[in-house]
Amino acid sequence: MKAPLHETLLDQTLREAVQDKATVSAEGRSLGRLTHGVSVRFLKTHTDERGTVTELYDPRWGFHPEPLVFSYTFTIRPGVVKGWNLHRRHEDRYAILQGRMALVLFDPRPDSPTCGEVCRIVLSEHERCLVNVPINVWHADHNIGSSDVVIVNFPTIQYDHAAPDKWRLPLDTPLIPYRFPEGTTGG
């Protein structure tokens, strides 16, 4: 677009600029649309001069309808991605303990209102939370911090060592419209 004769520097720069879109509510919550069926519960950390206490999961919260049946912890090294993964018979329920992780979700479910959408949720030890990953939703856990991510998972079924409920796609699959930074390793 040609600049008018007496356009100011302000006009010229603003003509090329892009205005921010709303990303958080006045209460500080993300306005991004969550993948259908995903819930996020913030976990309060109680701190005193001796250290901290954070409750990770309490069925009395009513966070998820399935009972507590199994739990394990996993870690991810800085810069590494674990994924793409999908579970056909269970949901993951992550509580982050340490580090910073982008949980990237891609919804392939034909009947879901968020079918075809990508959702990226940043989890951090500085604002710990519990988040569930619904059945049949592709997910990739990307350590975007500089130290190991530590997650406690409370999946809705026990691990089946003989026939794990886990399907994988390569990180660079063209079937999922999301790209990790060049050189990202994982799987």
Ligand X SMILES: Cc1cn([C@H]2C[C@H](O)[C@@H](COP(=O)(O)OP(=O)(O)O[C@H]3O[C@@H](C)C(=O)[C@@H](O)[C@H]3O)O2)c(=O)[nH]c1=O
- The side-by-side arrangement of strands in the sheet containing 129-133 is 40-42, 129-133, 92-98, 149-153, 72-76
30 contributes a contact to ligand X by CB under 6 A? no
Does residue number 89 form part of the binding site for ligand X (CB under 6 A)? no
Q: Which CB sits closer to ligand X, 12 or 73?
A: 73
Alpha-carbon distance 91 to 133, whole Å?
5
Shortest spacing between CB 82 and ligand X, in angstroms: 3
Regarding 91 and contact with ligand X (CB under 6 A), the answer is no
Q: Does 42 bind ligand X (CB under 6 A)?
A: no
Q: Which of 24, 45, 147, 159 binds ligand X (CB under 6 A)?
A: 159
| Contact between 74 and ligand X per CB under 6 A | yes
Taking the C-alpha atoms of residue 167 and residue 93, their distance in angstroms, rounded to an integer, is: 17
Nearer to ligand X, 114 or 156 (CB): 156
How far is residue 104's CA from residue 135's CA, in Å, rounded to a whole number? 15
Q: Label residue 105 exposed, middle or buried (CB < 10 Å: 0-12, 13-18, 19+).
A: buried
Q: What residue type is 64 in one-letter code?
A: H
How many residues sit close enough to ligand X to count as binding (CB under 6 A)?
10
Q: ∠116-140-38 over CA atoms, to 5°?
A: 60
φ, ψ of residue 16 to 5 degrees: the values are: -95, -10
141 near ligand X (CB under 6 A):
yes
Min. distance of Cβ 85 from ligand X in angstroms? 4
Among 72, 157, 170, 177, binds ligand X (CB under 6 A): 72
Binding residues for ligand X, per CB under 6 A?
72, 74, 82-83, 85, 92, 141, 153, 159, 166
